[in-house]
Amino acid sequence: MRIASVALAVLGAASFVPLASGQVVMALDSSRCFQSSYGYWLTGSSMVGPHAQLIAAGYSVQETAVISTAALANVDVFVLALPPVGATLPPSEITALQAFVSGGGGLLFIGENDSWVGLDGQLLTAFSAGTYAGSGSATGPVTIAAPTHPVISGPAGIVGQLPLNLAPGAFTPAASGVTSVIQFASGATALLALSYGSGSVVMLSDSTWFMNPPNFTPEAAVLWANTIDWLDSGSCSGSIANYCTSSTTSHGCVPSLAASGSPSASASSGFTLTCDDIEGQRTGLFFYGTSGELALPWASGSTSFLCVKPPTQRTAPQNSGGSVSACDGSLALDLLAFFAANPSALGQPLTAGQQFNVQCWFRDPPAVKTTNLSDGLRFTLCP
């Protein structure tokens, strides 16, 4: 459940940070974390501001000495902060975190400089997020490279200029599927974000914004709020469902429409439509609308129904492959990649909560109107 806003003081200024309410954020307890001038854990002295935001927003903050599937069973977001210098996680804890995120959980990993290179590399590898670039790559002021990403432009507001630590680490993100959200002047990444299974991951290359009280500025408070909100939304399934009736083609094929991945309004890829069991070697395409459903006969005598209410948007035609006269043809389209490449297409700009209806059209020369249609598929955009 979302709450409208939470007002709290950050360095003497009022910061309004809408977060989710009634959810659980978990972190390692003090027995597993680094301590020097501050206690570097979620309830420690280094994270007074972030912890206060969570409590004020209605989150339940829990701690654990061991990361396990049982410990994570009712958790929405896990915050992995600094262990002692040089420490890494045992394989069983990495496996538990992977399963947690894949199942819809959110993970915030707060990395650090070369003194924690083992842990940085371990988490980057575990989630196929990239590699550790070293403190030498963390030069110059930070800039926001993805200003529309929800951790930057989210329900708590828009993040402005952030302070720079003198000795941060840096990441080199993976070539695909990972967003470099905040970068150093060198081009190395300070904050990256990605989807993993049904969940989400945010990784910081330094602890300064969330674990150094003098640097927990109003801008850092907005970044924290937006980050937790985005990670807490990672379990969104998109409510994907089939509806309407598919045609039976001139060779007895019954096409079926399906989708895989997450329909995220903030992603540029990762949600693929497939239309299987259509006639082989036929031209076809996907089309979609945002105005709702239909079940209108395609033509008198046709086995097809128009399942998408106009106006509709066509995507590029493609060949179904397979064999002539067989039902082994198929079409596929990453719809998020289509949206990214076509910013003026129907439904743009994308926003969480939009409902889309999709259908597949393909040539079938002996059929009425020389064409046929698949069933329909509906989904709702996730954050």
pLDDT at site 190? 92
Using the Cα atoms of residue 95, residue 98, residue 102 and residue 107 in order, give the sign of their dihedral. Answer: positive
pLDDT at site 131? 94
pLDDT at site 236? 59
All domains of the chain, ordered by start, with CATH? 7-232 (3.40.50.880), 241-380 (2.60.40.10)
pLDDT at site 380? 84
pLDDT at site 330? 96
Q: What are the two backbone dihedrals, phi and then psi, of residue 25, each rounded to the nearest 5 degrees?
A: -110, 130
Six-digit token string for 125: 């590898």
**Per DSSP, what are the bridge partners of residue 285?**
361
Six-digit token string for 171: 């990441």
How far is the C-alpha of 222 from the C-alpha of 217, rounded, in Å?
9
Nearest by Cα to 285 from 352, 362, 221: 362
Q: Are 162 and 220 a contacting pair, CB within 8 Å?
A: yes
What tens digit of pLDDT does each residue of 309-358 get? 999 999 999 999 999 999 999 999 999 999 999 999 999 999 877 889 99
Identity of the residue numbered 312: T
pTM: 0.62
Instruction: Tell me the pLDDT of the chain (383 aa) as tens digits.
Output: 222 222 233 333 323 344 444 588 999 999 999 998 888 889 999 899 999 999 988 889 999 999 999 999 989 999 998 899 999 999 999 999 999 998 889 999 999 889 999 999 999 999 999 999 988 777 667 899 988 888 888 888 899 888 766 568 889 998 777 889 999 888 899 999 988 877 889 999 988 899 989 889 999 999 999 899 889 875 556 678 899 999 999 999 999 999 887 788 878 887 899 999 999 999 999 999 999 999 999 999 999 999 999 999 999 999 999 999 999 999 999 999 999 999 999 999 998 778 899 999 999 999 999 999 999 999 988 76
